[in-house]
C-alpha cells in the first residue's frame, strides 16, 4: 500500500510532517523467510533505482536481552528510545539520556561496548552471543539473527547488509528483526525501515497474528534520486512527440497515428486547440517535448509529417510508415 503519513515534528531537510510511505508486509507467518524476502525486495528496488544502499539489521530480542543483563529489564523502552538517537545525537548524548531515564553507570558500562562492537557480521554475532549467554530471550534473538544472515548469504544478496547492534527503531511494537536502509552516497536519514511485530494486530481485535514489514520513504527516496541526479532525462517530459493542431482535417489524420505510437509504447499527444503554430512550439518547449510533428494540408496529402527536433532545429519529412522507427 502507498499512503500519506503524518507526525508531529519540526520540518527540516529530509524530515517532513506529511510524507508518503510504500509499505510491504507479510501477515500470518513467523518464518524468517519473510524477512529474507523483504531484504530481497529492498535490493531489487534500489538496484533498479541505481542507489547504493546499506541494509542495517538488528533484533529487538537482542535488545531485550541487553536490558536484562544490564539489570534493567523494565527499562527496555527507555533503552531503545535513547539508543535509537545515536546517529543523530552521538554516543555521549545517548549515555546522558540513559542516565536521565534512570539507568546507572554500571548498566551503561554493559550497554556501551555492545553499541561499539565492530568486525564482520559473523564476528559480531559470536561476540553478542557470548555477552547474552545468560539471557534466554537474548539468545533467541541471536538465533534468529544467525538464521537470517545465513539465509541472506545463501540467497546471494549483493547489497551491503550489516548487523548494527545500535539499531533500535523507536516504535515499541517491534518484537524481532528490525531493519533500516541508508543511502551510502547521499547524506539523509534512513530511507526505509521496518521489522517483525508479533501482536500488533491485537490492537484491532486480531491477537497473536505475527507479521513483518518494511516501509519505503517515498519523499526521502525522491530527495536521494534528485540529489544524485538519477532521474532519467525522459522523466521530465511525459511525451516524446507533440502533434500540431492545424485544423479538423489534420487532427483527424493525427489521431490514428498517435494511437499507433502509444500502442508501441511511445508517449505522445496532440495539441488540443487549433491555434498559431508559434504557440504550439512554445508549449512543446515548456514541457520539454523533444519533437514536434507538424501536420498541415501538404503532409496529409503526402501521408507524412514534418518532424522537427526542437533541440537541434533540424526537421525532415517522414512517411507515416517510417515514423515509429524515429523513436526507437
DSSP assignment of 250-273 equals: HHHHHHHHHHHHHHTT--EEE-SS
Query: pLDDT at residue 233 above 70?
Result: no
Q: How far apart are CA 117 and CA 72, in angstroms?
A: 21
What global pTM score does this model have? 0.76
Domain boundary among 227, 250, 270: 227
CA distance 196 to 35: 8
One domain for residues 218 and 151:
yes
| Cα–Cα distance for residue pair 258/252, rounded to 1 Å | 10
> Domain tally for the chain?
2
Cα–Cα nearest to 22, from 43, 5, 44: 5
Q: Which domain holds residue 287?
A: 234-327
Same domain, yes or no: 202 and 303: no
Q: Kindly give, in sequence order, each residue whose CB lies less than 8 Å from that of residue 88, ignoring residues fewer than 6 positions away.
A: none
pLDDT of residue 13: 67
- Predicted confidence at residue 41, as pLDDT, reads 97
pLDDT tens-digit profile of 46-102? 999 999 999 999 999 999 999 999 999 999 989 998 998 888 899 999 999 999 999
Residues 166 and 256 in one domain: no
Q: CATH number, domain at 278?
A: 3.40.50.800
pLDDT for 106-144, tens place per residue?
A: 999 999 999 999 999 999 999 999 999 999 999 999 999
**Quick one: average pLDDT of 157-176?**
90
Measure the CA–CA gap between 326 and 313, rounded to whole angstroms.
16
Instruction: Tell whether 168 and 101 lie within a shared domain.
Output: yes
Q: Give the span between the Cα atoms of 53 and 221, in whole angstroms.
A: 11
Residue 161's pLDDT band, with cuts at 50, 70 and 90, is very high
| pLDDT tops 80 at residue 221 | yes
Please give the helix or strand (H or E) that residue 293 lies within, else none: strand 291-294
In this structure, the answer to whether residues 152 and 223 fall within a common structural domain is yes
Out of 227, 247, 270, pick the residue that ends a domain: 227
216 and 271 fall within a common domain:
no
pLDDT in tens, 242-301: 999 999 999 999 999 999 999 998 999 999 999 999 999 999 999 889 999 999 999 999
Task: Please indicate, yes or no, whether residues 154 and 288 belong to a single structural domain of this protein.
Answer: no
Q: Are residues 38 and 153 in the same domain?
A: yes
202 and 141 in a common domain: yes
Same domain, 187 and 306: no
Q: Which among 227, 260, 283 is the end of a domain?
A: 227
| CATH number of the structural domain spanning residue 30 | 3.30.930.10
Q: Has residue 239 got a pLDDT over 60?
A: yes
Give the integer Cα–Cα distance in Å for 221 and 219. Answer: 5
* Model pLDDT for residues 10-39, shown as the tens digit of each residue: 766 667 778 788 999 999 999 999 999 999
Residue whose C-alpha cell reads 533540424 in the numeric block = 314
Looking at the fold, whether 248 and 196 belong to one and the same domain comes out as no
**What are residue 112's phi and psi, to 5 degrees?**
-55, -50
Q: Which pLDDT belongs to residue 125?
A: 97
* Same domain, yes or no: 209 and 252: no
Amino acid at each position: 500500500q502507498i499512503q500519506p503519513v503524518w507526525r508531529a515534528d519540526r520540518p527540516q531537510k529530509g524530515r517532513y510532517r506529511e510524507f508518503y510511505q510504500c509499505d510491504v508486509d507479510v501477515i500470518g507467518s513467523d518464518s524468517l523467510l519473510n524477512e529474507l524476502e523483504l531484504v530481497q525486495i529492498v535490493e531489487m528496488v534500489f538496484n533498479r533505482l541505481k542507489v547504493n544502499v546499506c541494509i542495517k539489521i538488528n533484533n529487538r530480542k537482542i535488545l531485550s536481552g541487553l536490558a536484562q543483563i544490564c539489570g534493567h529489564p523494565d527499562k527496555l523502552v527507555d533503552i531503545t528510545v535513547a539508543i535509537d538517537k545515536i546517529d543523530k545525537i552521538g554516543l555521549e548524548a545517548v549515555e546522558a539520556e540513559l542516565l536521565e531515564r534512570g539507568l546507572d553507570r554500571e548498566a551503561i558500562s554493559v550497554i556501551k561496548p555492545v553499541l561499539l562492537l565492530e568486525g564482520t557480521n559473523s564476528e559480531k554475532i559470536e561476540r553478542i552471543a557470548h555477552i547474552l549467554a545468560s539471557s534466554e530471550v537474548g539468545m533467541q534473538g541471536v538465533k534468529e539473527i544467525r538464521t537470517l544472515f545465513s539465509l541472506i548469504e545463501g540467497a546471494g544478496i549483493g547489497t551491503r547488509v550489516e548487523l548494527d547492534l545500535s539499531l533500535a527503531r523507536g516504535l515499541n511494537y517491534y518484537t524481532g528483526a528490525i531493519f533500516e536502509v541508508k543511502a551510502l552516497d547521499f547524506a539523509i536519514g534512513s530511507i526505509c525501515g521496518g521489522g517483525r511485530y508479533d501482536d500488533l494486530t491485537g490492537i484491532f481485535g486480531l491477537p497473536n497474528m505475527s507479521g513483518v514489514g518494511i516501509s519505503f520513504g517515498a519523499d526521502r527516496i525522491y530527495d536521494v534520486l534528485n540529489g544524485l541526479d538519477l532521474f532519467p532525462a525522459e522523466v521530465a517530459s511525459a511525451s516524446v512527440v507533440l502533434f500540431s493542431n492545424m485544423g479538423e482535417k489534420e487532427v483527424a489524420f493525427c489521431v490514428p497515428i498517435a494511437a499507433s505510437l502509444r500502442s508501441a509504447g511511445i508517449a505522445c499527444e496532440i495539441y488540443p486547440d487549433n491555434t498559431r503554430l508559434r504557440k504550439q512550439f512554445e508549449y512543446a518547449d515548456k514541457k520539454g517535448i523533444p519533437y514536434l510533428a507538424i501536420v498541415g494540408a501538404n503532409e496529409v496529402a503526402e501521408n507524412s509529417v514534418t518532424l522537427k527536433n526542437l533541440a537541434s532545429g533540424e526537421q525532415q519529412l517522414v512517411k507515416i510508415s517510417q515514423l515509429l522507427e524515429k523513436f526507437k
